Chains A and B, each alone.
Chain A
Amino acid sequence: MALQQVSLPILGMSCASCAATIEGVLKGIDGVARVQVNVNGGRALVAYEPERVNLARLVAAIQEVGYQVATAQTTLQISGMTCASCVAHVEGALRELEGVLQATVHLGLGLARVEYIPGLVTPAQMIRAVQAVGYEARVQEEGVSALDREREARQREIRRQGLYLLFAAPLALLVMLGTFREYWILPAIVPEWLGYKWVLALLTTPVVLGPGRQFFVNSWRGLRHGVTDMNLLYATGIGAAYGIALINTFFPKAGFGGEGATFFESAALLTAFIVLGRFLEAVTRGRTSEAIRKLMKLQPKRARVLRDGQEIEVPVEEVIVGDLILVRPGEQIPVDGVVVEGYSAVDESMLTGESMPVEKRPGDEVIGGTMNKTGAFKFRATRVGAETALAQIIRLVEEAQASKAPIQKLADWVAGHFILGVHLLAILVFVFWFFVGYERFFDPNSAFLLSPYRLGEIGVFGFSLLLSVTVLVISCPCAVGLATPSAIMAGTGKAAEHGVLFKNAEAIENATKLTTIVFDKTGTLTRGEPSVTDVIAVEGVTPEEVLWWAALAEKNSEHPLGEAVLRAARARGLEIPDAEAFQAIPGHGVEARYQGERILLGNRKLMREHGIDLSGLQPQAEALEREGKTVMFLARSDQALGLLAVADTLKPYAIEAIRRLQAMGLKVVMLTGDNRRTAEAIARQLGIDRVLAEVLPQDKAAEIRRLQQEGHRVAMVGDGVNDAPALAQADVGIAIGSGTDIAKETGHVILIREDLRDVVVALDIARATMRKVKENLFWAFIYNTVSIPIAAGVLYPAFRVVVSPEWAAFLMALSSLTVTLNTLRMRGYVPALRREERATVRAHPVAASAPSGQ
């Protein structure tokens, strides 16, 4: 049995037992023949059968037992890819390299992301492998320069195809006029010499050998390496039409249909239409990646830094963590940081989707790339370079755009096998019409579809060849291959514009299949800190007095409930003096003394132990407790003064978000460690009817699993750091309120803002994106399903019409363009909630600014 041997670099081994563990796990894998682990060298030499196990499985097994295989990632810029089969070729070439674990190629971006094991393979080898299958590759440069180069490359392609089009289109038009000069009013305006076959040959030849040359060269380059792509379909189509035309012109008796069936106009128009398609694709394809370009443009270039008391302007790359930076009104914030002096409002809409400027005071975070509006302020840099939120967002969006949705697998498979399949079909069509069809069905009076051109004296070979060529020309794997990635690219970009970051395409697809959405309670639905919600006083005492005395008693307390009381008192502008004595009584409350009077603040037990009569307050206390609130009684000099209720409060827009999700047909569940009564009280306020209460933090993931086992497709919304296991377990984990530290997050979807309604926005965008994917796939598949049989002649026996190659070329170019244009419609898409928000801001600019959610 043939064995493959690799030497894997392993991190984390410290002793012989580590080596034994790794040897043990690797030897246990079916297909592994020999393992030799060298602890000192940090390597494992593995001999395995590549037919039964692959490198990725070996790496995964090592990782499963707690060690890491040193891997690296690189991004290659690939040029020369034109369709989905090119993607399959490049991916195949990269995956065949020993040491490559994963290779994902994105046609729209012209990028290949490769995860590999350094030492086994190098980027230079990857480039050679890509070149070997007929494409150009180079390691991608980061940031704006890469963007500029990519734009330059696209501009060059647009210019090149534009020039070809300018050359091919007029000549093709002349050839068409010459071919049909006997029809309609053409005899009156088209000179006779233009209809001469040799003139048509003279006009067609430069079109085929000029703009059409690229298809012959590219397909030959691919064929030499054993790969086929769209160029081959074009080349065989153009070549066959041109070849028959030449034969029929110079050897009219050869039996290809004679002079009445020259196909010069087919060859010329076919070339012109294909070049038109290439030109339009080059123009439109770049626009689907506009979101990433917009984000990259946000990257500031210079910063005003205060060093040694001097204000100096430096390139943003020279800013270091800890630098004090000055920002004036109208200036862009260069890096991430924390405000230390000054006050301003900052427009963060470009990164968070927040429509209103956000106020910034000392202590507040600012994000690099956002725009300062009104005031000047100084801030201390906390993250620079690749660590800034903007750089992380760009990286995440790029990764998501380059990832593949599960739905794409079918499309990729179809596109990858399409070219071969179509050529095989072309043989079958030819053989059928040659041996059976022509004899049975051919009618000399039959015509081309939408053409006055009669088939006339065309022979069996010419007719069979015509249909075979038309099948090759009309089929369009490009549309199938572009359908999903172009929509995913547009969707992830659109989501980023609204502060929603999908980590990959799978998250988008999964988000559209959800049935249940689970919210963590504390910190997600509620603020996670108690607040005073009710103050009730006995007769003759005001609520302010109750709050004042309670705050006085709690002034030295560090208990969260005490802090809530103090915050409430300060919020009402009450001045609280210091108590003369203070004592915390664990499990009961506090006891304080002021001007000789004893103040008690605590639960029933505390009051009972001091013999305080609470009968006047009991009904209200019980009602508040039923709402899940914690009640604290206040007594002064052994007389009850009143009570205070404290509860965790809902986050802004929580109720609206839940209502909208329910309206979208989702079942909303609340997950919390709180006791059932408190949890149900909060759930009632929110309108949630299913509560999973008293769930320990470590059991949250198990609860999600249980819901999944019940048949639900579950999204979990929570804190990306603390709820990480539950987010990972969910079909879609949504980390909310990540702010600027995106790298820490574990969810499949990251919401930059803390606004719960962004969950609705995320699902809305996911649904719109998948709708677009399905529309694109529908059009691509329906086009090929309908057009190929028609081109193969299924309608001929009944209607006596065939599709001409030039019409086939036009339809083919149109189908691919339809998919791109349909995707481009997403550029104008705004989620419903954002549309309403913008309408509100326009209608009530001041009122809308209050609940900013920040």
Chain B
Amino acid sequence: MESMEPIGREIARRSAITYTAISLLAALLFFGAATWKGGYSEVARWGGAAWVFLLSMIVTMPLVTAYYRKRGRRTSIGGA
């Protein structure tokens, strides 16, 4: 069981990097689109990007974590 801990931490780290990156990308896209279209206040652009980031994090966190957990299990077993 002890050897599972570093693997678990590694999965959590990779997951966090991935879903944060995806969410940031979504927020950036939103911000870019709002800036490109024009006519939005700073608050609207930044606030909107923050909201998109938050919701994207909520959507991607379970999906990405489950994906890495599944992959990690396969890798650790395959290596055993």
Residue ranges of A at the interface with B (Cβ–Cβ < 8 Å): 1-5, 50-51, 96, 223, 225-228, 232, 236, 240, 254-256, 420, 423-424, 426-427, 430-431, 434-435, 459-461, 464-465, 468
Residue in B closest to A427 when the chains form the complex, CB atoms: B55
Segment 44-69 of B: residues with Cβ below 8 Å from A: 44, 47-48, 51-52, 54-56, 58-59, 61-66, 69
Query: Are B58 and A236 closer than 8 Å at their CB atoms?
Result: yes
Query: Are B59 and A424 closer than 8 Å at their CB atoms?
Result: yes
Instruction: Given A225-B65, A226-B65, A255-B44, check contact A427 B77 (CB 8 Å).
Output: no
Instruction: Given A227-B62, A420-B62, A435-B33, check contact A2 B75 (CB 8 Å).
Output: yes
Q: Give the distance in Å from the alpha carbon of A441 to the alpha carbon of B47 in the complex.
A: 21
Q: How far is the CB of A231 from chain B (nearest CB, A)?
A: 12
Residue in A closest to B79 when the chains form the complex, CB atoms: A2
Contacts of A423 in B (CB 8 A): 55, 58-59
Proximity string of chain B (69-80) to chain A, C-beta cutoff 8 Å, 1 when within and 0 when not: 100011101101
Contacts of B69 in A (CB 8 A): 96, 226
Q: Give the distance in Å from the alpha carbon of A423 to the alpha carbon of B59 in the complex.
A: 6
9 extra interchain contacts, Cβ-Cβ under 8 A, other than A2-B75, A461-B47? A3-B77, A5-B77, A223-B62, A236-B54, A240-B51, A430-B48, A434-B34, A435-B34, A468-B51
Q: How far is the CB of A681 from chain B (nearest CB, A)?
A: 65
22 inter-chain pairs at a CB distance below 8 angstroms, sorted by A residue, are: A2-B74, A2-B78, A3-B78, A96-B73, A223-B62, A225-B65, A226-B61, A226-B64, A226-B69, A232-B58, A236-B58, A256-B43, A420-B63, A424-B59, A427-B26, A434-B48, A459-B43, A460-B40, A460-B44, A461-B40, A461-B43, A461-B48
Residue in B closest to A468 when the chains form the complex, CB atoms: B51
Contacts of A431 in B (CB 8 A): 30, 52
Instruction: Given A254-B43, A460-B44, A464-B48, check contact A4 B77 (CB 8 Å).
Output: yes
Q: Give the distance in Å from the alpha carbon of A28 to the alpha carbon of B12 in the complex.
A: 38
Instruction: Given A226-B61, A232-B58, check contact A461 B75 (CB 8 Å).
Output: no
Query: Are B37 and A256 closer than 8 Å at their CB atoms?
Result: no
Contacts of B43 in A (CB 8 A): 254-256, 459, 461
Residue ranges of B at the interface with A (Cβ–Cβ < 8 Å): 15, 26, 30, 33-34, 37, 40-41, 43-44, 47-48, 51-52, 54-56, 58-59, 61-66, 69, 73-75, 77-78, 80
Residue in A closest to B45 when the chains form the complex, CB atoms: A461
Q: How far is the CB of B35 from chain A (nearest CB, A)?
A: 12
Query: Are A427 and B56 closer than 8 Å at their CB atoms?
Result: yes
Q: How far is the CB of B43 from chain A (nearest CB, A)?
A: 4
Q: Give the distance in Å from the alpha carbon of A465 to the alpha carbon of B80 in the complex.
A: 49
Contacts of B80 in A (CB 8 A): 5
Q: How far is the CB of A827 from chain B (nearest CB, A)?
A: 37
Closest 8 CB pairs between A and B? A226-B65, A2-B78, A461-B44, A255-B43, A2-B74, A4-B77, A226-B62, A255-B41
Q: How far is the CB of B13 from chain A (nearest CB, A)?
A: 13
Query: Are A430 and B47 closer than 8 Å at their CB atoms?
Result: no
Q: How far is the CB of A106 from chain B (nearest CB, A)?
A: 23
Residue in B closest to A132 when the chains form the complex, CB atoms: B8
Contacts of A96 in B (CB 8 A): 69, 73
Q: How far is the CB of B16 from chain A (nearest CB, A)?
A: 10
Contacts of A227 in B (CB 8 A): 62
Residue in B closest to A424 when the chains form the complex, CB atoms: B59
Query: Are A223 and B58 closer than 8 Å at their CB atoms?
Result: yes
Query: Are A426 and B74 closer than 8 Å at their CB atoms?
Result: no
Q: Give the distance in Å from the alpha carbon of A1 to the alpha carbon of B77 in the complex.
A: 10
Contacts of B58 in A (CB 8 A): 223, 228, 232, 236, 423
Q: How far is the CB of B31 from chain A (nearest CB, A)?
A: 11
Contacts of A51 in B (CB 8 A): 74
Q: Give the distance in Å from the alpha carbon of A713 to the alpha carbon of B40 in the complex.
A: 64
Contacts of A226 in B (CB 8 A): 15, 61-62, 64-66, 69
Query: Are A465 and B59 closer than 8 Å at their CB atoms?
Result: no
Contacts of A461 in B (CB 8 A): 40-41, 43-44, 47-48
Contacts of A420 in B (CB 8 A): 59, 62-63
Q: Give the distance in Å from the alpha carbon of A459 to the alpha carbon of B34 in the complex.
A: 14
Query: Are A430 and B51 closer than 8 Å at their CB atoms?
Result: yes
Residue from the set A5, A96, A226, A435 with the largest chain B CB neighbour count within 10 Å: A226
Q: How far is the CB of A289 from chain B (nearest CB, A)?
A: 30
Q: Give the distance in Å from the alpha carbon of A67 to the alpha carbon of B56 in the complex.
A: 50
Instruction: Given A420-B63, A461-B43, check contact A1 B78 (CB 8 Å).
Output: yes
Q: Give the distance in Å from the alpha carbon of A468 to the alpha carbon of B56 in the complex.
A: 13
Q: Give the distance in Å from the alpha carbon of A236 to the alpha carbon of B66 in the complex.
A: 22
Residue in A closest to B80 when the chains form the complex, CB atoms: A5
Q: Give the distance in Å from the alpha carbon of A621 to the alpha carbon of B51 in the complex.
A: 93
Query: Are A459 and B44 closer than 8 Å at their CB atoms?
Result: yes
Q: Give the distance in Å from the alpha carbon of A312 to the alpha carbon of B63 in the complex.
A: 64
Q: How far is the CB of A438 from chain B (nearest CB, A)?
A: 10
Query: Are A465 and B15 closer than 8 Å at their CB atoms?
Result: no
Q: Give the distance in Å from the alpha carbon of A86 to the alpha carbon of B64 in the complex.
A: 18
Q: Give the distance in Å from the alpha carbon of A254 to the alpha carbon of B46 in the complex.
A: 11
Q: Give the distance in Å from the alpha carbon of A460 to the alpha carbon of B39 in the complex.
A: 10
Q: Give the distance in Å from the alpha carbon of A459 to the alpha carbon of B54 in the complex.
A: 20
Contacts of A256 in B (CB 8 A): 43, 47
Contacts of B62 in A (CB 8 A): 223, 226-228, 420
Query: Are B52 and A427 closer than 8 Å at their CB atoms?
Result: yes
Q: Give the distance in Å from the alpha carbon of A5 to the alpha carbon of B76 in the complex.
A: 11
Query: Which of B40, B55, B77 is in CB contact (< 8 Å) with A426?
Result: B55
Contacts of B34 in A (CB 8 A): 434-435
Q: Give the distance in Å from the alpha carbon of A254 to the alpha carbon of B48 in the complex.
A: 13
Contacts of B74 in A (CB 8 A): 2, 50-51
Q: How far is the CB of A849 from chain B (nearest CB, A)?
A: 62
Contacts of B66 in A (CB 8 A): 226
Q: How far is the CB of B41 from chain A (nearest CB, A)?
A: 5
Residue in B closest to A239 when the chains form the complex, CB atoms: B54
Residue in A closest to B33 when the chains form the complex, CB atoms: A435
Q: Give the distance in Å from the alpha carbon of A226 to the alpha carbon of B18 in the complex.
A: 13
Contacts of A254 in B (CB 8 A): 43
Residue in A closest to B63 when the chains form the complex, CB atoms: A420
Q: Give the distance in Å from the alpha carbon of A5 to the alpha carbon of B63 in the complex.
A: 26
Q: Give the distance in Å from the alpha carbon of A106 to the alpha carbon of B56 in the complex.
A: 30
Contacts of A223 in B (CB 8 A): 58, 61-62
Q: Give the distance in Å from the alpha carbon of A664 to the alpha carbon of B52 in the complex.
A: 56
Q: How far is the CB of B20 from chain A (nearest CB, A)?
A: 13
Contacts of A5 in B (CB 8 A): 77, 80
Residue in B closest to A255 when the chains form the complex, CB atoms: B43
Q: How far is the CB of A57 from chain B (nearest CB, A)?
A: 17
Contacts of B51 in A (CB 8 A): 240, 430, 465, 468
Q: How far is the CB of A355 from chain B (nearest CB, A)?
A: 53
Q: Give the distance in Å from the alpha carbon of A712 to the alpha carbon of B59 in the complex.
A: 46
Query: Are A430 and B61 closer than 8 Å at their CB atoms?
Result: no
Q: How far is the CB of B58 from chain A (nearest CB, A)?
A: 5
Contacts of A2 in B (CB 8 A): 74-75, 77-78
Contacts of A50 in B (CB 8 A): 73-74, 77
Q: Give the distance in Å from the alpha carbon of A81 to the alpha carbon of B34 in the complex.
A: 40
Query: Which of B37, B41, B59, B61 is in CB contact (< 8 Å) with A459?
Result: B41
Residue in B closest to A439 when the chains form the complex, CB atoms: B39
Contacts of B77 in A (CB 8 A): 2-5, 50
Query: Which of A225, A430, A459 is in CB contact (< 8 Å) with B55?
Result: A430
Q: How far is the CB of A537 from chain B (nearest CB, A)?
A: 86
Contacts of B73 in A (CB 8 A): 50, 96
Q: Give the distance in Å from the alpha carbon of A2 to the alpha carbon of B70 in the complex.
A: 12
Q: How far is the CB of B47 from chain A (nearest CB, A)?
A: 5
Contacts of A464 in B (CB 8 A): 48
Q: How far is the CB of B65 from chain A (nearest CB, A)?
A: 3
Q: Give the distance in Å from the alpha carbon of A3 to the alpha carbon of B64 in the complex.
A: 23
Residue from the set B40, B47, B54, B69 with the largest chain A CB neighbour count within 10 Å: B47
Q: How far is the CB of B74 from chain A (nearest CB, A)?
A: 4
Q: Give the distance in Å from the alpha carbon of A240 to the alpha carbon of B37 in the complex.
A: 25
Contacts of B40 in A (CB 8 A): 460-461
Q: How far is the CB of A89 from chain B (nearest CB, A)?
A: 9
Contacts of A240 in B (CB 8 A): 51
Instruction: Given A2-B78, A223-B61, A228-B58, check contact A430 B52 (CB 8 Å).
Output: yes
